[in-house]
Each structure stands twice: as C-alpha cells, then as structure tokens.
Amino acid sequence: MATMRLKSLSTRLIAWVLGATLTLSVVTFYAGFVENRQKLKEDASRTAEFAARALANDISALIRGIEQATQTLGSVVRHVRPDPDQTRALLHSLIEADDAIYGAAIAYAPEAFIAGTDFAAYMHRTPGGVRYLDIVSQDPGFRNDPWYRVPALTGKTSWSEPYLDLKLGAVDMVSFSIPVFEDLESGPRLLAVVSADVALENQRARIDAKARELGEDIRVLILSGGGRVITVDALDSELTRDTSGVYTIPLADQAAQRGREDIRVLAKRMTQGEEGTTTLVGLNRETRQWIHFRPLARTGWSVAIIVEEAELLTEIQESEFREVVMFSLYVVLMVLVVVVLARRITGPLRQLAGAAREIGHDPLAAKVPTLHTEDEVADLGDALRSMQVDLGTYLDELKATMDAKQRLEGELAAARQIQMAMLPQLPEHGSLVDGCDAAATLIPAKAVGGDLFDLIPLADGRLMFLVGDVSDKGAAAALFMAKTVTLANLLGRERVAPAELLARLNRELCRDNDACMFVTAVCGVLDPQSGELIYANAGHNPPLRFPTDGDATYLDVLPGKALGLYEEAGYREARIVLDPGETLLVYTDGVTEAADPDHDLFGEERLAGLPAELFESAHAVVEGVVAAVENFAASAEQADDITVLVLRRTEQLPLVAETLMRGGIAAVANTQAWLASKLRRARVDEDLVGELELIAEELLANVVHHAYQDRPDAEASIRLEIDQAHVRLRFDDPGPPFDPLLDAPDPKLEVDPMERQIGGLGIAMVKRLADAIVYRREDGHNVVEVEKRRAPG
C-alpha cells in the first residue's frame, strides 16, 4: 500500500490542508507585500522629504547669512558720508564677511553721492585676490539691470534670477540687492542699491556635496522664483541649458518645448511654491525617479530632492525575496507535517481495513491489530474487535440454527414419507375392482400438510373412496391426518355405509381434540355393476362428474359438518347412478385454490371445463388435472396439498355409440378422435385402434371427396359397436349414390405402386384391412358396413 491513491484519505487530507494553507498564505503574503511596498514608499518619500528639508535649511542659512551681511552693509552705507575709498573698504569688508559672496556692489542713486558725480563700485573675487571695478565706466547702463532696477523701483530687497553678467563678474550668479534710503525732510529718498552676488558655480558644488551627505544617489534641483534652474546636477543638461550656456529660459518653457509635460508640470508646481512628491522618468537618466519638492523661505526658490526608484525597489525586492524564501520553507514544512500526519492516521486505518477483509473470509482466524492510541481510529479497532467476537458468536448460533433446521427438515421429510406410505398404493396395471377404473394422487406442498385419500375395494365388488383435507398445516395436521386415515381404513373395511363411516370417524376425531383440528371429507361407495354411487359429505368440496357426452356437473351435496368439531354431528347420504364410461372426480381445495403468479385461482369452472371424458383412463384424467393445475400455477409456489381421485365406470360390452360427422376434411379428424377414445375406453387393442382409425379416415375421406366433391356440407353418421369378439363400424351418408368398392378404381396391387392410379389407394387399404366390408344403398343413403375381428385374449 505504498502507492498513494488519488482518492485516498491521505491524498485528500494533503490536498485540502495544503490548499487552505496555500490560499491563506498567498493572501497574507500579498497583503504583506502591498503593505510593505506602501511602507517602503512612505519611507522613501519621508527620506526625500527629510533630505529636502535639511537641504532647504542649509540653503536658507546661507541665504540668511548673505542677506544679513548685505543688510548690515546697507545700514553702514546709509550712515557714512559717501567717499570712494570708504566705499572700496566697505565692499571689501562684505566680501570678507561671507565666503559665499562672490562679489558686491554699492551703486549710488544719481545725484546722491556727490552732486554732479555718478558713483557705483563693484568688487569681486579672482584667483589672485579681489578686483575693484568702477561700474559707471564699465557698464554705464547698469541701472537697467535687474539687480539695481528692481530694488530701486520697488524699494524692497530682491533676489535676482540667475544671470551672467559679462561686464562685471563674468560668472553665472544670482544677486541679492537692497535699497538704501536716506531720510530727508521731504521724506525718504533712494540713496543707493547695495548688492551681493552669489556665484552659482561655487554653490552648486557645495549643495551637491551636502546632498551626497544625505544619500549616495540623491540629487538636488533648485529652481528660482522665475522657474530657472539654479543647480544642474539633477538635470539633463540638454534639457536645461540654453545656447548661451546660461539658464535663462525657465525650465517649464524648456520642458514644454521638448514635449516633456511631466517635467513642465513639476517645474510649474515648484515655481508656484507647492510642496509635494511625484515620480517621473528621464529627468536626468532613463530611470524612474522619486522627487520631493518644497519652497525655500523668502527667496521664492524651490528645492527638489531626487531619489532613484531602483534604489528604493532594491530594498523592497530584497525584503520580498526574504519573504518568498520563508514562505517556501513554510509550505515544505507544512507538506511534511501533513503527509506524516496523514500516514499516521491512514496507516492504522489500512491495517483495520485489511483486518476487516480477513474477518470477512474467516472471522475467527483474523487478527485485528491493537492500536496504542486513544483516538477515533483506536475506537474503530475496538469496534472491529468486538464485531469479530459478535460475528463468531453469531456464526456459532447460525450454525446451530442451521443444524437444527436441517435436522427438522430431515425429520419433516421422514414424516412426509411415513404419511405418504399411509395412503393406499394403487396397482399400476389392472383395477382394484371389476368394472371400475380408479386412480388417485396426492402432491404434497412443501410443508407437511393434511390431505388424505383412501380407496378400499370391498368384498362385495364395490369400491369405497374417501378424500379429506385436514385444517391447518404442519406436524399437528400431519398427525391428525395419520389418525384420520388409519381410522377411516379400519371403518371402511367393516363395510360401514358412508354416512355412518363419517359419523363414527367424527366421534373418534372429536375425542381429546383440544386443539380443535378438523377434517373436511367426502366418502362414497360405487357399485361398478349397477353404477349406483352412494356418498356423504362432511364439509368438503363437491365431487364432479363428467358424462361421456355433454358438460361436467358438480354433485349436489347434503350439508354436513367437518369432522372433529361436533361429536353429535350426523351425515346424510345422497345417491346417483353413474353411466358406463362416466367419470367421477373427487379433489381437495389444493386444486381449485391453486394460484397463478398473479394470485388468480384455478377455480371450479376451469376444473369443470377440462375434457376429462376424452382422457383414455382414470390415470390419464388424474395426470391431466394435475398437468392443468401445474400449467396454470406456472412459477407460483404450491401452497397446499393437491389431491385428485378419479373413478370411471368401465364401458359395458356390447357397447354401442353413434356420432355425426359434419363438414369437410377437418371433421374427419374429429370423428377419428372420437372413435379412438371410444375404442380405448373399451380396452380395444392399440394396433386395432390404429387400423380402425385408418379405415374410418379412408371411408370418410372418400365420402367427402367423392360423394360430396369436397363440399363443406358433407355429412355422415357413424355407428360403433364393440363386443367381446368384434368391432363393427357403419357409415351412413345421404349423398348421391356412390359405391366405393366398385366406383373407386381398384388398384392393381401386383404392379409397382408407383405405377398405380393413386386415387384408389385408400379403398384398397380398407379392403385389405377389413375382415368384412359391404356397401348398399338404403333409403336414399349410402351405407358401408365394416367388421373387424378383435384379437383373441
């Protein structure tokens, strides 16, 4: 049983447990996966946010430093007297104050320095030290540049857009400018614009370094308030840089030109001062990147931190891989546990199944395994063991019962044999009394029953008969039947008349009959010589008489009580005369109440309808009745004993009988049958019966063929006369004159029969068979008389 069957318990257990576990695990795993991803994304987003904030703080600090330094310079400019040397010293001090400051300018408003002069100075760093420039001479139109113009016009501090000032600094930079006002009686008047430049080149490196501190792959994008790129590290240079190499075109416009809607939206949102997170592909690489952006205070700038998604995913994927490995290990472990469990459950079950099969073969020898567990399977084992014990006991009891039954059946069969032996044994040949043909049979039903019959030849040549039926079945009925037969036999031999016999039998049977068993019976005495039949009835079915011609009739029976019930019961006799050849049938209700498979009964009508008068002997009638009943019952089981007793008065010789033939050739066959029956009843030798049949057929066929030319109205009367020595047949037909002996051509027997005229063959045979044959025409009839001698003996 090592192979695992597809529908076995273990297979199903494994399938179900694994199915459920796997489903549950997949759901859990998936939920974990989704949650994990979400969490990791949040982590990543937070990381970017922190980085952005940190960077923003850093930049803010830088900006604040520059603004404060510039404001300080501004307030100094306001309070000192304008002087070129002084101005130079101030510029120098500002550049020295903050190394983020690349250059600084103090540009006095026209007429504000010294009347009639125009003064503006610029100082910036060079690799070899600071350089001092006179703005007015270098860039006379400077007051139109944004760094001057915006604070001068608005009166407010201002961060410029990135620009490249070729005349002054020649680097790309942004400038912070403040207006300085002097208080006049007429109100504040613009004194000067003080401006500090931040060289973007330097700051980019600084910011990038700062970003590296936050993360290996982190990039930074800073947009000015006008949407121009301040840092470049994060961006595809193709996308941002214009032909002059300066970021003078806003990023949003550049992106729109290149059809990068996603980048345009990002730039727009940043410019509008939004804070948020987004992802997009192709900012500076063909990979997906996570971008967190937030506005910078005061400047109107926006800082974006850019993280590679792959970086984030690596972490997620590593985590997921770990989970898959764990999950697989879990499933393998689960399978092992379930398989082991299933084996542990089904192993004992298989053992028990084997034991159960063995019990089927041999309950006593089978060994039921003992299971050392306390579970349901062990219960099953216990149940099986107890079943084995019960089965053993049951089989013993069954065997005892069967033995008893067999013994009983043997005893019943023996009883049945004894019972049958009590019935008279009839001679196979010859008759019990002269002048009467008698036969009887009793066909027992399965159980010991209570039918009985007796036939007692009396010394005066008469024949006494008795047919009875004990109520009930079984051993008691059988004993009662035995008692009845024995008593009846004794009484019968005392030549007691039927009524008296029944009365005395009744008294004997009533004695000590506490069980109230009873017998119905018909008893009669037939005198074969006179045909006188005296009979009496004790509650039994009426006998049936079959005359030689005509319908059968049931005998009238005088009422009489069944035997064994009422001690004082009396019985009266009836008397009839049976004609020679007439048949008497006495029977029990096993005949009339025989049932077919549909529970229909054979019935008295069917019995009376049997052509008993046509059967050749009493024995043939008995067999005919039994055959008819058995035919009727077919497969239905015989419920009751069947008893049939037949008496037939022998025909008296000389016997004379007549019949009429009417019709065609078919009628000839009927007449033949009638003739054969009559001859056999008169015990005519069988060979002679055949010859007489042949004679009758040939002569009658002759009448039909020749006298009537095969017309259907052919008719002839036939007279049969049988005495001890002869059988005579007389054929008489009213047809046209026809002498078969003359008119039929005489076949010449000496020639080859093949050559003879076939027509005369029949008559030739008749002539040869008959001992004497004559034809005469008498009263318009054809008459043929045939005589045949009976063989001596």
Partner 1 sequence: MSFNVHHENFRDGGVRLVLEGRLDSSTSPEFDLSVAGLLDTPPPMLVLDMAGLDYISSAGLRVVFKLQKAVKTVEGELLMVNLKPPVRKVFEIIDALPTLSVFNSVEELDDYLDHMQAQERQK
Write out the residues near partner 1 by the rule CB under 8 A. Answer: 665-666, 668-669, 672, 687, 690-691, 693-694, 697-698, 701, 747, 749-750, 752-754, 758, 761-762, 764-765, 768-769
The answer to whether 562 and 471 have CB atoms below 8 angstroms apart is yes
Angle at the Cα of 211 (from 208 to 217), degrees rounded to 5?
100
Nearer to partner 1, 306 or 695 (CB): 695
Nearer to partner 1, 613 or 698 (CB): 698
User: How far apart, in whole angstroms, are the C-alpha atoms of residue 336 and residue 329?
Assistant: 11
Angle at the Cα of 679 (from 677 to 682), degrees rounded to 5?
110
Nearer to partner 1, 374 or 752 (CB): 752
Nearer to partner 1, 533 or 770 (CB): 770
Give min distance, CB of 500 to partner 1, in A: 47
User: How far apart, in whole angstroms, are the C-alpha atoms of residue 434 and residue 543?
Assistant: 22
Give min distance, CB of 681 to partner 1, in A: 18
User: How far apart, in whole angstroms, are the C-alpha atoms of residue 382 and residue 379?
Assistant: 5
Give min distance, CB of 666 to partner 1, in A: 5
Give min distance, CB of 736 to partner 1, in A: 20
User: How far apart, in whole angstroms, are the C-alpha atoms of residue 237 and residue 251?
Assistant: 11
Secondary structure of residue 96 in the 3-state scheme? helix
Neighbours of 521 (CB within 10 A): 31
Q: Quote the tokens at residue 476.
A: 């008691």
Within its chain, how far is the Cα of 196 from the centroid?
A: 95
Nearer to partner 1, 447 or 761 (CB): 761
User: Omega before 611 cis (within 30°)?
Assistant: no
Half-sphere exposure of 600 (CA within 13 A, CB side): 8
Nearer to partner 1, 155 or 690 (CB): 690
The answer to whether 647 and 714 have CB atoms below 8 angstroms apart is no
Torsion of CA 305, 311, 316, 320, to 10 degrees: 170
Nearer to partner 1, 595 or 769 (CB): 769
Nearer to partner 1, 387 or 765 (CB): 765
Give min distance, CB of 763 to partner 1, in A: 8
C-alpha distances out from residue 626 to 242, 595, 616, 629, Å: 132, 13, 15, 5
Give min distance, CB of 696 to partner 1, in A: 10
Nearer to partner 1, 410 or 753 (CB): 753
- If we measure between CA atoms, which residue out of 456, 445, 453 comes closest to residue 416? 445
Nearer to partner 1, 179 or 762 (CB): 762
Give min distance, CB of 733 to partner 1, in A: 16
Nearer to partner 1, 360 or 712 (CB): 712
Give min distance, CB of 559 to partner 1, in A: 44
C-alpha distances out from residue 489 to 325, 425, 439, 501, Å: 107, 13, 17, 10
The pair phi, psi for residue 235, each rounded to 5°, is -115, 150
Give min distance, CB of 445 to partner 1, in A: 34
Give min distance, CB of 750 to partner 1, in A: 8
Nearer to partner 1, 319 or 672 (CB): 672
Give min distance, CB of 632 to partner 1, in A: 23
- Give 52's contacts (C-beta < 8 A, 6+ positions apart): 292, 293, 294, 303, 304, 305
Angle at the Cα of 105 (from 102 to 109), degrees rounded to 5?
165
Secondary structure of residue 260 in the 3-state scheme? coil
- If we measure between CA atoms, which residue out of 283, 293, 194 comes closest to residue 240? 283
Give min distance, CB of 758 to partner 1, in A: 5
C-alpha distances out from residue 644 to 297, 377, 469, 607, Å: 136, 67, 12, 11
Give min distance, CB of 613 to partner 1, in A: 18
User: How far apart, in whole angstroms, are the C-alpha atoms of residue 537 and residue 543?
Assistant: 10
Burial class, 152, CB count within 10 angstroms (exposed 0-12 / middle 13-18 / buried 19+): middle
The answer to whether 644 and 622 have CB atoms below 8 angstroms apart is yes
Give min distance, CB of 672 to partner 1, in A: 7
Give min distance, CB of 784 to partner 1, in A: 16
Half-sphere exposure of 647 (CA within 13 A, CB side): 35
Nearer to partner 1, 204 or 705 (CB): 705
Give min distance, CB of 673 to partner 1, in A: 8
Nearer to partner 1, 649 or 681 (CB): 681
Q: Quote the tokens at residue 249.
A: 């075109």
Nearer to partner 1, 452 or 696 (CB): 696
Give min distance, CB of 760 to partner 1, in A: 9
First-last CA distance in the chain = 89
User: How far apart, in whole angstroms, are the C-alpha atoms of residue 250 and residue 248?
Assistant: 6
Nearer to partner 1, 235 or 684 (CB): 684
Residue with tokens 């318990």: 9
Helix (H) or strand (E) holding 189: strand 187-199
* CA dihedral (298, 299, 300, 303) positive or negative: negative
Nearer to partner 1, 147 or 615 (CB): 615
Give min distance, CB of 759 to partner 1, in A: 9
Nearer to partner 1, 621 or 668 (CB): 668
Residue with tokens 């057929």: 697
- If we measure between CA atoms, which residue out of 496, 485, 498 comes closest to residue 442? 485
